[in-house]
Structure 1
Amino acid sequence: MQHETRARDTKGDIHRAALDLFSTRGYEKTSLREIAEQVGITKASLYYHYSSKQDLLQAIIGTFFDDMRAVFDQVDDQPWSPERERELLGAYLDVVINHRSTGPTILRDIAAVLAAFGDQLDDLIEQSRRFQVWLAGPDPKPSDRILAAAAVEVVGAVFSAGLDQSEVPDEEFRTILLDAATAVLARRQHHR
C-alpha cells in the first residue's frame, strides 16, 4: 500500500462535500452528519472545524464575498479607462469562475444565505452597484448605466442557465464571457 504524502485538506474536503449536498439536496435538508459521512470523518471532527451548519455556510460563501469585495474595492482607487474596465471585468470573472460551485447554493437557498449574511449581503449588493456605476464610464447617461448593469448580468445569466460549463476549458470560458460583457459595454458609443 502506498503512503499518501500530501496532508489532507480537511476544510477543503468539508467545503466541497457541503457545496455538493447543499446544491443537490438543499441547505435545510442536509445534515452535518451527512457532510461528515461524505468527507469520511466523524461528526465530532466536523464540529472541530465548524460549530454549526450556518457557520459552515458562512465560511464557504464568505470567501466568495471576500474575493468579490476585493474586486469591487478596486473601483474606488482606479480612474475609469477602457483598459482598466476590461481588467476589472476580468478580475470579476475570475472570482465568479473560481467560486462557480457556490452559485447553485446561493440560488437554491437564498433564505439561508440571507439569514447567515444579512447586512454583509446588503453591503455586497451596494458595492456591486458602485461597480456597475464605475463600468458605465465617466459622466454616464442613464443608457450607460443600463448597459453596465446588463454587462454584469451577462455573467450571472450564464451561470444561472444550468449549462454544463465543464465542456469548455476555463480560459476559453473566461474569454467568451469577458468578450460578451465588453461587447455589451461597447454599445455605449452608439448612445453618446
Structure 2
Amino acid sequence: MQHETRTRDTKSEIHRAALELFSSQGYEKTSLREIAEQVGITKASLYYHYSSKQDLLRAIIGTFFDDMNQIFELIKTVPWSPESERELLGAYLDVVIKHRSTGPTVLRDVAAVLAAFGDDLDDLIARSRAFQLWLAGDDPTPRDRVLAAAAVEVIGAVLSSGLNTAEISDAELRAHLLDAATAVLALRAHAPADA
C-alpha cells in the first residue's frame, strides 16, 4: 500500500515538472532527462512511469480531457434552467481552474497536443460546442449562441492572459469568472441595440 502512494506522488511530481518545463521552454525542447533531473529521479525511473514524452503529455492533458468530459456528459441529463446553467458553469470552472497549469502547454505546443490526441481532441471540441449550445438556453437564437460562446471564451481568455496565480486565490478567481460568464449570458435577456 505504501508503494502505491509513493508512485502517485512521483507521478504528480513528474507531471508538475513536465508542465513547468513544457510551458517555459516548449514540448519539443524539453527532454525526459531534464524532467527526471527536476524531479530528482533517474531517467530509467521516469521510463518506469512513462514510455515516452508523448505518453507523458497524454497522461497530463488526458486527465484534463477526462475531467472536462465528465462536465460535458452532464448536459445530456440536466435540463437547462438559469440555476442549472450557473451550476454547470461552476463545475466547468472547477475543472478549468484545477487544470489551469495545463493551459500554457496546450497553447504553446498545439502541434504536439494534436499529434498526441488527434481524434480525442476533435471529440473534446465537439463536446465543448455542445456545452456552449446548451448554455445558449432552450430554442436559442443565433445571438444566444454567440453570447454562450463568448461566455465560455471569457473564461479561457482570462486564464490564458498570464495572470499571476499568487495574486488571486482559486476561490476568488472562480467567483469572478463565474460572475463574468453569467454577466455575458445575461445579455440574452436584453434586446440587441439597433445598428
List 4+ stretches of structure 1 deviating above 2 A: none
- What aligned pairs does 1:3-152 form with structure 2 within 5 A after superposition? 7=6, 9-152=9-152
Superposition deviation, residue 161 in structure 1:
1.1
Aligned-pair RMSD on alpha carbons?
A: 1.1
Superposition deviation, residue 51 in structure 1:
0.2
Matching residue's letter, 2:76 = D
Q: Secondary structure at the match of 1:59?
A: helix
Superposition deviation, residue 7 in structure 1:
4.2
Matching residue's letter, 2:139 = D
Superposition deviation, residue 165 in structure 1:
2.7
Query: Where does structure 2 lack aligned partners over 5 or more consecutive residues?
Result: none
Whole-angstrom distance in 2 between the partners of 1:67 and 1:97: 11
The residue aligned with 2:177 is 177
Report the number of matched residues: 187
TM-score, normalised via structure 1 length: 0.95
Superposition deviation, residue 169 in structure 1:
1.2
Whole-angstrom distance in 1 between the partners of 2:109 and 2:6: 32
TM-score, normalised via structure 2 length: 0.94
Superposed CA offset, 1:92-151 (max 9, x none): 000000000000000000000000000000000000000000000001000000000000
Whole-angstrom distance in 1 between the partners of 2:123 and 2:174: 26
Whole-angstrom distance in 2 between the partners of 1:129 and 1:7: 39
Identity %: 75
Whole-angstrom distance in 1 between the partners of 2:164 and 2:38: 24
